[in-house]
């Protein structure tokens, strides 16, 4: 028995002394020099930058990148690598937005929490919609640029970093030097990928230990298969994580390709079914070939081809003449330094699992092929492909292995930079309405932070486009962020939203708009505003200018007043204000005009007074403009229902409301407080062809901007914005244009305005599906010089809350009139019309929790 035990113990010791083959032994990372910011590897040294992903590209950027790459050191001692990592780790953005929209507490906090739960679910599992076989999730992208060398002179590496850093910064990239923590995280994200990780997590760094020992989980396993690598490790929460890494490479070099077309390979705008369905990484490793050697080789080729073309051999080699032309063009480009010659290896890595491997791989192949890049799984070559995606590995001898495997491609630097994975959609990450781009990148919309010259919005969408949903979401978001909202409605579309948020809902019976009511409060207020140039804004002067423009419009709705008449009218308004203060009436302005007309014996002035008669206390519309304004500056959201006003007085009412709301925007205080006025059904409310009315709108929009406010005008079709001067003024004064699905009038608009959109944009806008069919709304947003395409998803509960469908609206309204609370009425309406959708939604959310 003793000998058996001794033998067992001996075997145990013998086994313990055997070398364990752990993956971290294959990693070259050793030390980091914090002074030079350089990594020391087994056989090389290197550095890296985390760089911003640009929201678009043009030919100038491509040419500049090509020249920059040509300035970097060439030869087999220098390796460069560009990485783009697409993932679903967006929880930190969602939680930040949830906190932003929960400031008011109450119903806003509840809505923000519900939206956040749905968004967290969508990031991992995709949004719920009605289009089969399409996955729409939430993604974010990280990009890196690594440089490594076996060159012994350390100064050359520092010079290369200076060249690269300066060049990329001048091209508009934001740069962040890669730290040891960032390098370890990048390597871990490749070899220890965890699909359940919902936010970025930076690995810790111990300067007393070699870097390669800190990159991976100690129990990391990697099992090589013919078409993938299966990995297993334990994450920070002690959970076992299994992943399958599938690496694909180019089957051939593409023909004519452009950098700005590359995002189409990840998720197509032209065909929504073409997109990568799992987290992914694109890695481009390259070397600059020595120009002298390339020139000599090319010159020799030209000599040989010239002999062939000028001989009888030309009959046997019909392509020789074409090749000679290409070689001479190459010779010219190399001599003029228009481009250089480079070699590159492109790898697409998919992070998937056993269940979804085939589907994810096929989706990636079809998506890239649709974009003009043919990729294939690297059978029997997965380990090499995986290691080639790690930073600095090419300088550790892996480049030669890739060359033996036939994966190294040679091309011009001008063609190389067109494959740089650095371009995706332009995204806004400062919070607001969650509007993921059509390439599924997380993005938010907030008119007050989107970088536009002004915050005014021109929004258009036909029937079934989801226009009402989106506008109500924008209104609710501005309110939730602590802003103030006024809505000019026609048809009670916003009644549920307004009352749900505790706002005031007013009808024509209690809308009174004396423009002098709040001038006293404005005069005594001590808010200080400055315009965009930093000059102080006089609120009383702005208010009186607005009131003058209002009276000019209502006094002469069809023929503009002369400059003289405008001036006299302004004097009369000031006189009325000085005499009566906030008790002034239209009568007082009329009386002041009659006095001036008598003094000047000028019939032109008296004509204005006569035209104001119907708005005086003895006129047809005596109450609307003389009774004190009912707009309460302390109310945070107000909806004014304009149905019920006679058509003849509707335009003056809208203009008076604009004046009153501009006053409210000032009284709301700080310019940093968001203030939004929504004019719904604007095409029917703003009807006329008066140059004076157009100028009034220009003045009103400028005033709102000075007080930190904005207007959002909403129409059925983009053609409605060009049907009259008032609507056109609204459009031209709006730096933010939002286009949803258009109706039949869009084709007519394109005939009359063929250059309004590119052919690609026309096809894309026409492809927007009705929201009821798709389960989401599509939108084109132009703001701050950027054009982006988005999808808007709403949960079933919110769909019921925002719905303006006649049957649903009537059902909810009847319950409300029967004594049910509005919240209860909305809940019962939701159950009645969307019961199955809500059950499916709750089941999906619950199953993922």
pLDDT tens per residue across span 587-598: 999 999 999 988
Nearest residue to 93 via CA among 429, 372, 345: 429
Distance CA 258, CA 58 (A): 9
Are 319 and 270 in the same domain? no
Q: Based on the domain organization, do 655 and 757 belong to the same domain?
A: yes
How open is the CA angle 801-802-806, to the nearest 5 degrees? Answer: 100
Question: Domain check: are 771 and 711 in the same one?
Answer: yes
Cα–Cα distance between 283 and 83 in angstroms, integer? 5
- pLDDT for position 1: 41
Q: Looking at the domain assignment, is residue 131 inside a domain? A: no
Q: Residue 16: inside a domain, yes or no?
A: no
- Domain end point (choices 794, 821, 837): 794
As a whole number of Å, the CA-based R_g of the chain is: 34
Helix (H, G, I), strand (E, B) or coil at 535: coil
Which CATH number covers residue 525?
Answer: 1.10.8
**Which residues are bridge partners to 786 per DSSP?**
783
Cα separation, 132 vs 41, whole angstroms: 49
> Please, are residues 176 and 168 in contact by the beta-carbon 8 Å criterion?
no
Strand blocks (E) in 181-324:
221-224, 229-234, 240-250, 280-288
Show Cβ contacts of residue 308 under 8 Å, excluding neighbours closer than 6 positions.
314, 317, 320
DSSP category for residue 561: P
Q: Specify the DSSP element, H or E, that contains 159.
A: helix 154-170
Task: Report the pLDDT value the prediction gives residue 799, as an integer from 0 to 100.
Answer: 78
Q: How many other C-beta atoms are found inside a 10 Å radius of the C-beta of residue 32?
A: 19
Alpha carbon separation from 258 to 56, 72, 326, 346, 441 (Å, rounded): 11, 22, 20, 16, 21
Encode burial over 805-832: b for 16+ CB neighbours within 10 A, e otherwise.
eeebbebbeebbeeebebeebbbebbee
Residue among 410, 356, 402, 466 nearest 738 (CA): 466
Residue 827 maps to a domain: no
Same domain, 315 and 279: no
Give the chain's domain count.
4
What is the value of pTM for the model shown?
A: 0.89
**Alpha-carbon span 774 to 132, nearest angstrom:** 9
CA 402/CA 488 separation, integer angstroms? 65
pLDDT given at position 2: 42
Q: What is the pLDDT of residue 837?
A: 76
Residue 634 pLDDT: 85
Q: At CA 552, angle to CA 550 and CA 554, rounded to 5?
A: 70
Domain C-terminal end among 576, 608, 628:
628
Tokens of 425: 């959609």
- Burial of 296 from C-beta contacts in 10 A (0-12 / 13-18 / 19+): exposed
Regarding whether 616 and 641 lie in a shared domain, the answer is no
Co-location of 611 and 475 in the same domain: no
Residue 163 has, within 13 A of its CA and on its CB side, a CA count of 15
- Report the C-alpha gap between 132 and 147 in whole angstroms: 44
333 and 345 share one domain? no
Do 233 and 344 share a structural domain?
Answer: yes
Specify if 682 maps to a domain. yes
Report pLDDT for 531. Answer: 66
Same domain for 589 and 685? Answer: no
E-only strand ranges, 124-279? 140-149, 175-177, 221-224, 229-234, 240-250
Q: How far is CA 289 from the centre of its chain?
A: 38
512 three-class SS: coil
Same domain, residue pair 519 and 504: no
Question: Which residues of the chain, if any, have pLDDT below 50?
Answer: 1-4
Q: Is residue 825 part of a domain?
A: no
- Beta pairing class for 341-352 and 175-177: unpaired
Same domain, 621 and 676: no
Burial class (CB in 10 A: 0-12, 13-18, 19+), 28: buried
Q: 693 in a domain, yes or no?
A: yes
439 belongs to a structural domain? no
Q: How far apart are CA 458 and CA 460, in angstroms?
A: 7
Whether residues 285 and 303 fall in one domain: no
Q: What per-residue confidence (pLDDT) applies to 525?
A: 74
Mean residue pLDDT across the chain: 89
Check residue 222 and report its DSSP letter: E
Q: Which residue matches tokens 């490790």?
A: 233
Helical spans, DSSP H, in 417-538: 467-480, 495-500, 519-524
Rounded Cα distance, 185 and 783, in Å: 35
pLDDT score, position 301:
73
Q: Which domain holds residue 326?
A: 299-337
Which of these three, 628, 656, 671, is where a domain ends?
A: 628
How far is 210 from 664, CA to CA, in rounded Å?
63
Instruction: Give the Å distances, CA to CA, from 628 to 96, 516, 518, 545, 582.
Output: 42, 8, 9, 20, 9
Q: Which residue bears the tokens 């399409």?
A: 134
> Does residue 520 lie within any of the structural domains?
yes
C-alpha to C-alpha distance for 371 and 262, rounded to whole angstroms: 7
């Amino acid at each position: 028995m003793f000998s058996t035990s001794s033998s067992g113990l001996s075997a145990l010791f013998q086994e313990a002394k055997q070398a364990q083959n752990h993956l971290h032994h294959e990693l070259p990372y050793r030390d980091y020099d914090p002074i030079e910011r350089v990594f020391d590897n087994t056989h090389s040294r290197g550095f890296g930058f985390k760089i911003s992903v640009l929201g678009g590209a043009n030919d100038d950027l491509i040419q500049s990148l090509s020249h920059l790459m040509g300035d970097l050191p060439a030869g087999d001692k220098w390796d460069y690598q560009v990485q783009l990592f697409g993932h679903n780790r967006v929880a930190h953005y969602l939680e930040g937005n949830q906190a932003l929209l929960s400031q008011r507490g109450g119903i806003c906090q509840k809505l923000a929490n519900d939206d956040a739960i749905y968004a967290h679910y969508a990031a991992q599992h995709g949004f719920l919609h009605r289009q089969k076989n399409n996955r729409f999730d939430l993604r974010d992208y990280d990009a890196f640029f690594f440089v490594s060398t076996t060159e012994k002179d350390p100064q050359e590496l520092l010079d290369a970093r200076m060249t690269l850093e300066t060049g990329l910064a001048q091209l508009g990239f934001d740069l962040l030097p890669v730290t040891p923590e960032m390098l370890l995280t990048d390597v871990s994200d490749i070899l220890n990928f965890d699909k359940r990780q919902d936010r970025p997590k930076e690995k810790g760094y111990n300067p007393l230990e070699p870097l390669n020992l800190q990159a991976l989980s100690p129990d990391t396993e990697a099992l090589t298969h013919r078409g993938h690598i299966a990995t297993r490790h334990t994450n920070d929460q002690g959970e076992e994580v299994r992943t399958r890494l599938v690496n694909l490479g180019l089957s051939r070099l593409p023909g004519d390709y452009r950098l700005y077309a590359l995002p189409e390979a990840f998720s197509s705008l032209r065909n929504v079914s073409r997109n990568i369905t799992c987290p992914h990484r694109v890695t481009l490793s390259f070397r600059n070939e020595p120009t002298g050697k390339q020139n000599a080789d090319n010159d020799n080729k030209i000599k040989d081809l010239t002999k062939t073309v000028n001989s009888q051999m030309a009959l046997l080699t019909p392509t020789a003449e074409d090749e000679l032309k290409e070689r001479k063009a190459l010779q010219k480009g190399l001599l003029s330094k228009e481009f250089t010659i480079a070699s590159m290896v492109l790898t697409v890595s998919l992070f998937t699992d056993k269940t979804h491997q085939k589907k994810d791989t096929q989706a990636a192949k079809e998506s890239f092929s649709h974009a003009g890049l043919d990729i294939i799984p690297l059978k029997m070559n997965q380990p090499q492909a995986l290691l080639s995606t790690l930073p600095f590995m090419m300088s550790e001898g892996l480049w030669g292995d890739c060359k033996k495997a036939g994966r190294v491609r040679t091309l011009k630097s001008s063609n190389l930079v067109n494959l740089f994975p650095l371009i995706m959609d332009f995204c806004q990450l400062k919070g607001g309405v969650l509007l993921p781009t059509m390439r599924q990148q997380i993005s938010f919309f907030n008119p007050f932070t989107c970088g536009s010259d002004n915050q005014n919005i021109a929004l258009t969408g036909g029937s079934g486009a989801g226009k009402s949903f989106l506008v109500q979401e924008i209104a609710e978001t501005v309110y939730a962020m602590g802003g103030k909202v006024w809505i000019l409605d026609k048809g009670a579309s916003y009644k549920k939203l307004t009352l749900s948020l505790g706002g005031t809902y007013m009808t024509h019976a209690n809308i009174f708009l004396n423009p002098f009511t709040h001038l006293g409060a404005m005069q005594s207020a001590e808010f200080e505003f400055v315009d965009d140039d930093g000059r102080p804004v006089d609120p009383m002067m702005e208010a009186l200018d607005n009131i003058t423009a209002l009276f000019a419009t209502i006094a002469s709705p069809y023929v503009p007043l002369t400059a003289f008449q405008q001036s006299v009218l302004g004097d009369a308004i000031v006189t009325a204000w000085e005499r009566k203060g906030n008790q002034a009436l239209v009568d007082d302005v009329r009386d002041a005009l009659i006095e001036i007309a008598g003094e000047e014996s000028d019939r032109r002035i008296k004509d204005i007074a006569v035209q104001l008669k119907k708005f005086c206390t003895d006129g047809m519309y005596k109450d609307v403009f003389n009774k004190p304004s009912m707009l309460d500056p302390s109310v945070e959201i107000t909806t004014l229902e304009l149905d019920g006003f006679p058509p003849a007085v509707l335009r003056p009412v809208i203009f008076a409301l604009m004046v009153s709301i501009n006053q409210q925007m000032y009284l709301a205080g700080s310019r940093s407080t968001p203030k939004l006025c929504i004019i719904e059904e604007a095409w029917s409310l703003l009807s006329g062809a008066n140059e004076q009315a157009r100028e009034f709108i220009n003045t009103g929009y400028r005033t709102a901007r000075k007080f930190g406010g904005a207007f959002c005008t909403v129409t059925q079709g983009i053609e409605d914005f060009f049907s009259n001067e008032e609507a056109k003024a609204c459009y031209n004064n709006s730096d933010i244009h939002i286009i949803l699905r258009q109706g039949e009038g869009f084709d007519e608009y394109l005939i009359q305005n063929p250059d309004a959109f590119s052919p690609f944009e026309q096809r894309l806008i026409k492809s927007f599906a009705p929201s009821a069919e798709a389960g989401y709304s599509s939108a084109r947003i132009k703001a701050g010089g950027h054009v982006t395409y988005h999808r808007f998803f709403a949960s079933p509960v919110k769909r019921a809350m925002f719905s303006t469908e006649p049957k649903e609206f009537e059902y909810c309204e009847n319950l409300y009139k029967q004594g049910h609370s509005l919240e209860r009425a909305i809940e019962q309406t939701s159950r009645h019309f969307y019961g199955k959708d809500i059950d499916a939604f709750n089941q999906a959310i619950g199953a993922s929790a």
